[in-house]
Chains A and B, each alone.
Chain A
Amino acid sequence: MLRLMSDPHDAELLLPRIAKGERSALAGLFQVESGRLVAVAQRILRRRDLAEEAVQEVFVAVWHRAGQFDPLRGSARGWLTTMTRNRAINMLRDGSRMDYHDSTTLADMGDRAVDAQEAFDALAERDALRICLEQLDEPRRRAVLLCYVTGLSHGEAAATMQAPLGTIKAWIRRSVVSLQECLS
């Protein structure tokens, strides 16, 4: 019954048990995945308490919707990552709970640029995503990373990069198409 909690396949094994209402399986999933998901959410939401709130909502949703996980569409970890990202981005865009007009705004933006760059730097040398991102011009790559890793909108990315909004939009539209072509 005991298994190593670091096994990445754990989530795959735990979701069917969660779907059957096994609370201990949800506790197991929390043990394996919560730290990682809080970190993913915190890159987007910045504040630890908000990141934990997002992850809390994700686990409650998993409790109700574990049966909807479709292994043919991707990994269980990926499913959890997608749910966490979506929740965090919704909270960010909702905005009513976050004040981005205070004095810490600029500092926050600075942190985001660092996080985005560090995520890229940490990709494995031979990761197809890294290879395809490297094919984008530097400012375009930076815009894509800011949006994906730290959840910035096009407008926020424009402010961070001190570039016109129209330019950022065009860069990102073209970049996401090139990325998919390169990755396919």
Chain B
Amino acid sequence: MMPEQTEQVGLYVLGTMEDADRADFGRAMRADPALQAAVDRLAAHLQHLDDTAAPAPVNSALWQTIESKLDGASASENVVAFPTHRRALPQWYGIAASAVIALGIGYLAGSMTTTAPREPLMIAVLLNEGDAQPGAIVEAFADDSIRLVPLEDFAVPEGRILQVWTLPDAGTGPVSLGTFSDPHTINLTGPELPEPASGQLYEITLEPAPGSPTGRPTGPILVKGFARPPV
């Protein structure tokens, strides 16, 4: 690095460059990794001075102001993409998936106070097809079993039954995890499958009793959602 650049690095980190010089130097720095590294190095040393400041007491009003300036849009834009399936799925799934994450966090927080004997590998909040309201929660365990907690009272007409499905991957296709007719918390054990994965689809359809005649969903989808691992 040129001696003149060393001086500029120093003035930049010190914060005493004139505005125009500062903008020029900022551009030069972004184009020159060695210059950038020199700035980062000196800044890391000088920040020991900042670290001597005794933390100020901060009131919650400051956080509330910050929170009011976060637009919801950027939060949902930034939601992590699901590793599987996502690309091929329609727009609606993206909205549902965001809601699943939000709801999943709330649900987990609520369940922390209870002592759960076993931990689910994945949790999916299944959303109502019509209004995207949560309709059921699925906890999927490593032993091919799930615990299903209905959040709404599904109307099941005479001669029909509720059937729970998952889509481990596109190649395997939908797999039935079991049927039920009276909405309450139930445990179901499906066939032997790979361990439930993040982004795996779960859904409940309305089928003719005693279950789909074809082994695949035939009736209307009532609720569906994607699995996420608990933190």
B63 contacts partner chain A, Cβ-Cβ < 8 Å: yes
| Alpha-carbon separation in the docked complex, A167 to B144 (Å) | 77
The contact of A39 among B38, B56, B78, B231, by CB within 8 Å, is B56
| Alpha-carbon separation in the docked complex, A82 to B47 (Å) | 8
Q: Given A35-B55, A59-B66, check contact A129 B11 (CB 8 Å).
A: no
| Alpha-carbon separation in the docked complex, A87 to B43 (Å) | 15
Q: Which of B15, B62, B105, B108 neighbours the largest number of chain A CB atoms within 10 Å of its CB?
A: B15
Are A40 and B75 in contact, CB atoms less than 8 angstroms apart? no
Interface residue range, chain B: 35 or more
Are A85 and B62 in contact, CB atoms less than 8 angstroms apart? no
B54 contacts partner chain A, Cβ-Cβ < 8 Å: yes
Q: Given A64-B74, A148-B15, A183-B42, check contact A38 B56 (CB 8 Å).
A: yes
Are B43 and A82 in contact, CB atoms less than 8 angstroms apart? yes
Are B14 and A78 in contact, CB atoms less than 8 angstroms apart? no
Are B105 and A24 in contact, CB atoms less than 8 angstroms apart? yes
**Count of CB-CB pairs between chains A and B under 8 Å:** 150
| Alpha-carbon separation in the docked complex, A24 to B112 (Å) | 16
Which B residues between 13 and 29 are near A, CB-CB below 8 angstroms?
A: 13-16, 19
User: Which chain A residue lies CB-closest to B62?
Assistant: A52
A19 contacts partner chain B, Cβ-Cβ < 8 Å: yes
B53 contacts partner chain A, Cβ-Cβ < 8 Å: yes
The contact of B11 among A40, A56, A173, by CB within 8 Å, is A173
A11 contacts partner chain B, Cβ-Cβ < 8 Å: no
Are A129 and B56 in contact, CB atoms less than 8 angstroms apart? no
Interface residue range, chain A: 35 or more
Are B78 and A19 in contact, CB atoms less than 8 angstroms apart? yes
Chain A proximity of B153: nearest CB distance (Å): 31
User: Which chain A residue lies CB-closest to B38?
Assistant: A180
Which B residues between 35 and 75 are near A, CB-CB below 8 angstroms?
A: 36, 38, 40-58, 62-63, 65-67, 69-70, 74-75
What are 28 A-B residue pairs whose CB atoms fall within 8 Å in the complex? Answer: A1-B231, A21-B74, A21-B77, A26-B66, A27-B63, A30-B63, A38-B55, A39-B53, A42-B53, A55-B62, A60-B69, A60-B70, A67-B78, A73-B40, A74-B43, A74-B44, A77-B47, A120-B49, A122-B52, A127-B48, A128-B45, A172-B10, A176-B6, A176-B9, A176-B13, A180-B38, A181-B6, A183-B41
User: Besides the contacts A172-B16, A177-B10, what 9 more A-B pairs have beta carbons closer than 8 Å?
Assistant: A21-B74, A26-B66, A74-B44, A172-B11, A176-B9, A176-B10, A177-B7, A179-B10, A180-B9
